[in-house]
A = this chain, B = another copy of it.
C-alpha cells in the first residue's frame, strides 16, 4: 500500500507556503527554500501536497502556476477551491480572496470538477 512520508524538503516547502500571504510559484518557492533540495524535488513535493489536498494550485493570467495553502474552514466536509485569486500587475503578488465566491449559471450538460478564477489589476497596496 502507498504511504506518504514526512521529509525535510516537504516540511520546509509547506512552511514556506503556509507562511506566505500570497500564492507562490515553483520558482519563487525555490528562491525561498535556499537549496534545501533539488529543483526536481520541489516539483514532486508540490504535486504530493496538492494530491494530499494540503495546498492548492492556481493559474496566473500569464500561465504561471502558483500554490497556496488550503484554509479548511470549520468542519466543511466538502472542501472546494472555488474562490477568486487576485493577481496584482504591479507587485505581481497573487492573493487568495477566500471569501469571494463567484456565482454563475452554466448551460446544461456541463460537469464541473475544478475551477480557476483569476482577476488581475491593482491590489489595495499598489492602487
Residues of A whose CB lies within 8 Å of any CB of B are: 57, 59-65, 84, 86, 89, 97, 99-124, 127
Sample of 4 more A-B contacts, CB < 8 Å, known A57-B61, A99-B107, A115-B118? A84-B104, A100-B105, A110-B124, A116-B116
The contact of A103 among B65, B103, B107, by CB within 8 Å, is: B103
What are 26 A-B residue pairs whose CB atoms fall within 8 Å in the complex? A57-B61, A59-B59, A59-B61, A59-B62, A59-B116, A59-B118, A61-B114, A84-B104, A84-B106, A89-B113, A97-B107, A99-B107, A102-B102, A102-B103, A103-B104, A107-B124, A109-B123, A110-B123, A111-B121, A111-B122, A113-B120, A113-B122, A114-B121, A115-B120, A116-B119, A117-B117
